[in-house]
């Protein structure tokens, strides 16, 4: 709905208070980068790789370390002199300075939850005896490292709530150290697990837990060596890791990964096996008795479909699956009846099922409808019981619990609403707030719209557009930040970000495009944006930018783009394909060399989405869009700020190093092409608040400088 004309007048007053912004500084003199002479033949094509030496680990190679230091020095000097930098630093800090909570988990009589007072580098773990008990600090990761870069990652209480296993992430790496704590005394026990990675923690009663690990890497290779031969092991409390029992492994198939879960009643262990990033799983079950497990029994042998254990009740197991249901359904299996097939409980619907959980004697279902959440409660036979009112466009998550539990907790957030936590009573169906943030801005001042635009092939793609209502009413084109991902069956949904809110407070618009390759519309949507269809993702993103300009939401010289990881690849690819379309671009921790991504750490998993570089048909596709290999000398590229981190062992920083070196060499006298390399930070998780504020300030001040966004002269920007 349009607001009264007074809103437009208010918008005009706000614009008059903006700071006049000078032209952004020109590109600095780039540090000299050695160019090698490597040229390799791939299926009859000569492919040059002059910057391969930058793939070496910065920790172990002096030349790479020196290059990183020189590039960082030039970038930091440039960013520090951008006029919007002080305002963004101040405002993002203010927007992050609010008390926030994680979802509570109940074990025994204890309730465990995370809490951050506002600007703490890492959130703390608290426990309450009973829901209304006094909060007691259990773990404070802020005391673990002076720079705040050691984080509490996962944690799981034992069934009785007396012990807690938790994993530690240092400097952003994917490697985890698992430790155990006595909840009653707060004492950390001697137990310590090393070389855990891509793991969960699943207790077997109160005696110990399952976890997944890889063999110890070769010395100096922990951040680059390929991850193979993952094993599922059991750690018994009070014993050394060397005594941990092997539960399940496949040494004859080292590329397989394994994850173990135990049903709430301790009756069955379910082992899920995968090969790559695709949601294609095999399943084995083991009968549990007296804390021990029997021989594995195969339930699903082929890696063809998605299978996610919901819960087990006695000999009945419930799963989500996309077998003959691309948008997923709920099925059950009676293990006590040999030969009994999986039977449908909740058939596939028009919406995409994202989560199902048994709480009390009912099942809670979480769906995506056009990338926004809906939730409902059904009986265990599938009959509808009630809807859970979410009231607005946003994302609901959580709904954890067990059969017989009186409650569950869930969070709800949106672009203009930080996460609020609610307690849902499984008997009455009532939702009441458990923790709600106190805000320093007015959510009602922002409008969230969903548009559907046509991609190159005519496919309708949804996109969220968020901005001040006054700006929407005035129909004034403003600098716009467009974000996308488009891969690995991952759904991009509405959520709060302090940096995006700061951008909008300064008068910009934010857009999130739900590109093909994601999971917003199930398997077909994912398949339409991967492997030989990957160009569809780039076409979707380019079409989103063209739509924002055509609709008058942003001026042609005001469109900026950002994406991380697979989204960093996206940004690199579209900058190559349409350098004229974008005012500035920020590819973060991106996969930039599509011919060698499978040679490092977790890269081998990504062939499910990208294909195999050593297969000719896949090579032709990868070569056609690889950001590193498609930079053309003499092209006027838009300003680009690349970001990565020295401890990123998911997408190794060599991707970003090589891409930046090639971009600087191709357009040395053009717009700035810079790289920001964070120290003691990884792919993103576990990053301390202080580092997150610094990075966001750098990114937004860069985008503001090149899109014409003028930050307020003083005050909070509201």
What CA–CA distance (Å, rounded) separates 493 from 354? 12
509-513 and 480-483 strand pairing: parallel
DSSP notation for 51-71: TGGGGS-TTT-HHHHHHHHHH
Task: Give the pair of three-digit tokens for residue 679.
Answer: 């120290």
Q: Are 601 and 667 in contact (CB under 8 A)?
A: no
Strand ranges inside 102-161, DSSP E:
105-107, 110-116, 124-129, 136-139, 150-157
What CA–CA distance (Å, rounded) separates 356 from 271? 19
What CA–CA distance (Å, rounded) separates 583 from 572? 14
Give me the helices (H) in 578-688, please: 607-610, 616-625, 654-666
Reduced 3-state DSSP string for 306-344: CEEEEEEECCEEEEEECCCCCCCEEEEEECCCCCCCCEE
Q: Which of 512, 481, 530, 544 is nearest to 372 (CA)?
A: 512
Map tokens 């006298």 to a residue: 669
Q: Which of 123, 683, 697, 701 is catalytic?
A: 683
Q: Which of 202, 414, 431, 565 is catalytic?
A: 565
What CA–CA distance (Å, rounded) separates 473 from 5? 9
Using DSSP's 3-state secondary structure scheme, residue 131 falls into coil
Task: Burial-class residue 187 by CB neighbours within 10 Å (0-12, 13-18, 19+).
Answer: exposed
What CA–CA distance (Å, rounded) separates 125 from 115? 6
Name every residue whose Cβ is closer than 8 Å to that of residue 410 and which is 6 or more positions away in sequence: 103, 375, 388, 396, 397, 398, 399, 421, 422, 424
DSSP H or E stretch at residue 573: helix 566-577
CA distance between the termini of the chain: 21
Active site residue 683: yes
Please compute Rg for the chain using Cα positions. Answer: 26
Give me the count of residues in the chain.
Answer: 718
Active site residue 707: no
DSSP classification of residue 198: S
DSSP classification of residue 539: H
What CA–CA distance (Å, rounded) separates 623 from 626? 5
Task: Burial-class residue 427 by CB neighbours within 10 Å (0-12, 13-18, 19+).
Answer: exposed
Q: Are 401 and 358 in contact (CB under 8 A)?
A: yes
Q: Which of 29, 24, 51, 28 is nearest to 38 (CA)?
A: 51
What CA–CA distance (Å, rounded) separates 488 from 519? 8
Q: Which sequence positions are flagged as catalytic?
A: 565, 683
């Amino acid at each position: 709905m349009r607001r009264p004309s007074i809103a437009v007048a208010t918008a005009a007053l706000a614009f008059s208070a903006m700071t006049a912004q000078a032209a952004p500084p020109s590109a600095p003199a780039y540090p000299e980068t050695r160019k090698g002479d490597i040229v390799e033949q791939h299926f009859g094509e000569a492919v040059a790789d002059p910057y391969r030496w930058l793939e070496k680990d910065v920790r172990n190679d002096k030349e790479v370390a020196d290059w990183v230091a020189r590039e960082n020095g030039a970038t930091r000097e440039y960013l520090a002199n951008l006029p919007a930098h002080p305002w963004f630093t101040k405002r993002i800090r203010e927007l992050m300075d609010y008390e926030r909570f994680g979802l509570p988990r109940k074990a025994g009589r204890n309730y465990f939850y995370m809490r951050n007072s506002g600007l703490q580098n890492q959130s703390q773990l608290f426990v309450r005896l009973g829901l209304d008990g006094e909060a007691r600090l259990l773990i404070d990761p802020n005391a673990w490292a002076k720079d705040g870069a050691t984080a509490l990652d996962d944690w799981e209480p034992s069934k009785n709530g007396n012990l807690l296993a938790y994993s530690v992430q240092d400097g952003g790496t994917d490697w985890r150290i698992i430790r155990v704590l006595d909840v009653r005394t707060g004492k950390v026990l001697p137990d310590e697990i090393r070389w855990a990675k891509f793991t969960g923690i699943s207790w077997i009663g109160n005696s110990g837990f399952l976890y997944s690990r890889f063999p110890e890497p070769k010395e100096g290779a922990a951040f680059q060596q390929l991850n193979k031969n993952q094993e599922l092991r059991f750690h018994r409390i009070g014993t050394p890791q060397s005594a941990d029992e092997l539960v399940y492994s496949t040494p004859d198939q080292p590329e397989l990964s394994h994850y173990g879960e135990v049903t709430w009643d301790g009756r069955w262990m379910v082992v899920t096996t995968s090969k790559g990033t695709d949601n294609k799983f095999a399943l084995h079950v083991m009968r549990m008795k007296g804390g021990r497990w029997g021989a594995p029994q195969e339930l699903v042998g082929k890696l063809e479909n998605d299978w996610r254990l919901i819960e087990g009740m006695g000999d009945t197991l419930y799963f989500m699956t996309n077998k003959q249901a691309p948008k997923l359904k709920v099925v059950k299996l009676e293990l006590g009846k040999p030969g009994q097939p999986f039977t449908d409980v909740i058939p596939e619907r028009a919406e995409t099922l994202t989560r199902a959980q048994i709480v009390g004697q009912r099942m809670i279902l979480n769906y995506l409808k056009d990338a926004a959440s809906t939730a409902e409660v059904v009986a265990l036979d599938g009959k509808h019981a009630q809807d859970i009112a979410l009231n607005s466009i946003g994302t609901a998550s959580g709904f954890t619990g067990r059969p017989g539990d009186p409650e569950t907790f869930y969070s709800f957030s949106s672009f203009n609403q930080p996460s609020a936590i609610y307690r849902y009573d499984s008997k009455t169906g009532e939702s009441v707030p458990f923790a709600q943030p106190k805000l320093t801005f007015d959510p009602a001042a922002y409008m969230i719209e969903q548009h559907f635009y046509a991609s190159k092939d005519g496919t309708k793609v949804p996109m969220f557009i968020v901005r001040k209502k006054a700006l929407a009413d005035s129909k004034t084109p403003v600098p716009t930040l467009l974000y996308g991902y488009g891969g690995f069956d991952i759904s991009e949904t509405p959520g709060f970000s302090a940096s995006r809110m700061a951008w909008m407070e300064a008068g910009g618009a934010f857009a999130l495009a739900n590109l093909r390759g994601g999971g917003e519309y199930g398997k077909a949507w994912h398949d339409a944006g991967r492997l030989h269809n990957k160009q569809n993702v780039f076409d979707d993103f380019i079409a989103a930018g063209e739509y924002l300009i055509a609709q008058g939401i942003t001026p042609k010289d005001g469109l900026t783009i950002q994406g991380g990881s697979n989204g960093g690849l996206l940004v690199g690819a579209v900058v190559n394909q349409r350098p004229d379309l974008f005012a500035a671009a920020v590819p973060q921790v991106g996969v930039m060399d599509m011919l060698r991504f499978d040679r490092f750490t977790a890269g081998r998993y990504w062939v499910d989405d990208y294909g195999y570089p050593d297969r000719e048909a896949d090579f032709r596709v990868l070569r056609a869009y690889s950001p590193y290999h498609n930079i053309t000398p003499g092209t006027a590229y838009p300003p680009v700020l690349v970001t990565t981190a020295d401890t990123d062992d998911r997408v190794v920083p060599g991707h970003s190093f090589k891409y930046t070196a090639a971009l600087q060499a191709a357009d040395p006298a053009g717009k700035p092409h810079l790289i920001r390399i964070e120290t003691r930070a990884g792919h993103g998780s576990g990053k301390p608040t202080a580092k997150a504020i610094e990075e966001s300030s750098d990114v937004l001040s860069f985008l503001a400088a090149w899109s014409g966004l003028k930050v307020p002269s003083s005050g909070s920007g509201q």
